[in-house]
Amino acid sequence: MSSESDATLPCGGADSAKHPPVETIEDVISFKIKRLNGLIDRRGFDWLEALFDLSLNEWRVLALIRSKGPVRAGDLSGFLLMDKSQLSRLLKELIGKRLISSNPDRQDARAVVLRVTTKGKALYGRILGEVVRRNERVLTPLTAGEAALFNGMLDRVIAFNLSRTSDESDPANHE
């Protein structure tokens, strides 16, 4: 199925430095990543709600606060690439469940610092083990070496695109 407008589309492969050939949207790497994420989210996280009374986003916020240590809410919003109002609702839920605490920042009275409570740390430990088991299933078709390589490649692509996001938000780069 071809039309004259198809000739103007970038096709990857020989026309591109890195992207494999693109015939349809299904060949685009960013689409594949989004689709994989959707499959994982849809198939794998109902158990969070059923077993632990946490939504997927509540789990992600709890886990990142645990990972980052005491963290400002604003920094967390940037890391999650989440709307501040959505994050605020999630934080209220987690505070209400006594999984995290919120205290004024000593350096900036306008900001709050988030910490995982003892109850939150215990829940985090129980959930993380199940998350790792489920990720093992996602990686089933890969060898251990391929999984490590894939993980490293994702880290590099994420880091590169984060730096581009910072560069693109700088007005000096839009002259």
Q: Which residues are bridge partners to 72 per DSSP?
A: 113
pLDDT in the model for residue 46 = 83
110-123 in b/e form (b: 16+ CB < 10 A) is eebbbebbeebeeb
Domains of the chain: 19-160 (1.10.10.10)
Please report the pLDDT score of residue 173 as a whole number: 43
The pLDDT value recorded for residue 8 is: 42
Give pLDDT, residue 17: 72
Q: Which two tokens stand for residue 129?
A: 């083990």
The whole-number pLDDT of residue 168 equals 53
Residue 112: name the closest of 96, 97, 95, 128 by CA: 95
Torsion of the alpha carbons at 116, 122, 126 and 129, rounded to the nearest 10: 60
DSSP state letters, 25-93: GGG-HHHHHHHHHHHHHHHH-HHHHHHHS--HHHHHHHHHHHHHSSEEHHHHHHHHT--HHHHHHHHHH
**Model-level pTM?**
0.77
What is the predicted pLDDT for the residue at 14? 52
pLDDT by 10s per residue, the chain, length 175: 444 445 445 555 555 578 788 899 999 999 999 999 888 887 767 889 999 999 989 999 999 999 998 999 888 988 888 888 999 999 999 999 999 999 998 888 888 999 999 999 999 999 999 999 989 999 999 999 999 999 999 999 999 998 887 655 544 443 4
